[in-house]
Amino acid sequence: MDEKNAPKAQRGDILERRDGLTHHWGVYTGSSVIHKVPEGQSSSKIASGKSLPGAVREDDLKTFSAGRKVVAHKSALPADEVVAQAKAKLGPATYNLFDDNCEHFATSAAGNRRSTQVDKAKRTAKTVLDYAREDQNF
């Protein structure tokens, strides 16, 4: 990971890797990143919204960053608590793009489970559907 992409992170921070339209999330332990991933799945299977085999794993920051920019977000909870929550989930896990993804995992460890990416996608879909209902020619 080059210096310009390195986050100014502290133990217990939630890390966000920007991958263009999507972002990948994890918990920084101070020396590594714990994050949830789908295991061996194609993009189309992941996008299907079905629950798939996945894992919560621990990787070094360079592996997590994949050469992309990483941003650190502070947690309101104590760092040791955030890291302990993340470490407790290490191992096999279910991955669901809409209900149980990497952002849900990381924000849950920080005490505020959510996925802003999913929320934005739902709002966009609702807007398109509302527009289509108003304009039957859509």
For the chain, domains (ranges, CATH) are 3-113 (3.90.1720.10)
For tokens 């996608």, the residue is 121
pLDDT band at 118 (very low <50, low <70, confident <90, very high): low
Could you give the C-alpha distances from 85 to 34, 79, 108, 118, in angstroms and in order? 10, 10, 8, 22
For tokens 């398109």, the residue is 128
For tokens 């918990």, the residue is 27
**Which has more confidence, 32 or 134?**
32
Question: What's the pLDDT at 19?
Answer: 82
Interatomic CA distance for residues 83 and 13, integer angstroms? 9
Model pTM greater than 0.85? no
pLDDT digit string (tens) for 17-69? 988 778 899 999 999 999 999 988 777 777 777 888 999 999 999 999 999 99
Q: What three-state secondary structure class fits 54? A: strand
**First-residue to last-residue Cα distance in the chain:** 46
Interatomic CA distance for residues 92 and 112, integer angstroms? 22
